[in-house]
Amino acid sequence: MENGDHKQVPDNANEHCPGTESEDAGKSDACAGCPNQEACASAPKGPDPDLVAIAERMATVKHKILILSGKGGVGKSTFSAQLSFALADMDFQVGLLDIDICGPSIPKMLGLEGQEIHQSNLGWSPVYVDSIGVMSIGFMLPDPDDAVIWRGPRKNGIIKQFLKDVYWGELDFLVVDAPPGTSDEHISIVQFLKETGIDGAIIVTTPQQVSLIDVRKEVSFCKKVGIPVLGVVENMSGLSQPISDFKYLKRATNGEEPEDVTDWVMAVLKEKAPELLGLVACSEVFDSSGGGAARMCVEMGVPFLGKVPLDPKLCKAAEEGKSCFGRDECGISASALSAIINKLLKNNAMA
């Protein structure tokens, strides 16, 4: 990304690019038609005095992890929330920062809807649940149905405030839940935090190619801006559910509604094959014939952390704003998440 003059120049930039940190970035004649023009024009330029204040705030944070994905709807916020719950259960001090400005899901997934940010003499105070400090624009909306219709500069400004004005205190981990893509929020968080030391990014995807196509771009983004990829998580990797939790329907004919035969099926199983009731049924929901995230990781030279099944119990825990750990009914997804988190900590010497 750097040229011989030490300018930060994207690989796909126009000829005579002034550099992403130049005052003319996104504004000069050479920028016309460049795919990066809007992002460069809205990104912070030159020396930023607020970076000193951010560095002071972040000095008490040991590890900073970005949760990214090139694709929306892959369960990135669910993973961010459950990662935070798991780390807190390990007696780590955890902060969770939601920088998805237009679609903040974290207040819902931590059971904090309706909470508000409070001001102290030390700065903004995070909202706490289970010892996890949480910050999101969702706490600042007068009505949860209000749309946030902001351009890049305002998004950059609120992200900067979350970093320099929030009193996070002593943290072992700051987990940053980002929106999908590689746009303003991503450029800003990297620029604001890079000098303070970002441990790296965890990238979340689903198994099918329509997701992996965009997630590959996220991996490339991390490489271009110098953020280590700590690993890739394949989420919704097949539906896994106990046989006893399924609803059974008799196929309809002549346009009639399907008949619910769940009670009959369960009665037959209990009488004829009770040993089957302890089994877990697995079904591939998304096509993974292309090798899924594991193959992509081999091809792009990044670590593969593991797979998390599509588990209705995990979905329910997220809807209720609760941890999936310590809940017997979440055993399928909780064990998969635990293995991934332990691998993350071990591989990166964070424990």
Q: Which residue has the tokens 């405030």?
A: 161
What are the residues whose beta carbons fall under 8 Å from the beta carbon of 25, sequence distance 6 or more?
Answer: 18, 19, 31, 40, 41, 43, 45
Q: Is 73 annotated as a binding residue?
A: yes
- DSSP, collapsed to helix, strand or coil, labels residue 83 as helix
Which stretches within the chain are classed as H helix? 37-42, 50-58, 76-89, 106-109, 152-164, 184-193, 209-225, 262-272, 292-300, 312-320, 331-347
Please give the torsion angle defined by the CA atoms of residues 141, 147, 150 and 152, in that order, rounded to the nearest 10 degrees. 90
Q: Is 157 annotated as a binding residue?
A: no
In the chain, the N- to C-terminal Cα span, in Å, equals 33
Closest residue by Cα to residue 310 from 70, 74, 68, 66: 74
* Residue 133, φ and ψ in degrees, nearest 5: -85, 125
Q: In this structure, are residues 225 and 1 in contact, taking their beta carbons and an 8 Å threshold?
A: yes
Q: Is 76 annotated as a binding residue?
A: yes
C-alpha distance from residue 83 to each of 79, 99, 330, 339 (Å): 6, 16, 15, 11
Q: Is 297 annotated as a binding residue?
A: no
Q: Is 333 annotated as a binding residue?
A: no
Phi-psi sector, 319: left (phi>0), alpha (psi -120 to 50), beta: alpha
Q: Is 77 annotated as a binding residue?
A: yes
Q: Is 247 annotated as a binding residue?
A: no
Residue count of the chain: 351
Q: Is 315 annotated as a binding residue?
A: no
Q: Is 28 annotated as a binding residue?
A: no
Tokens coding 322: 């609760």
Q: Is 102 annotated as a binding residue?
A: no
Annotated binding-site positions for ATP: 70-77
Annotated binding-site positions for [4Fe-4S] cluster: 17, 31, 34, 40
Annotated binding-site positions: 17, 31, 34, 40, 70-77
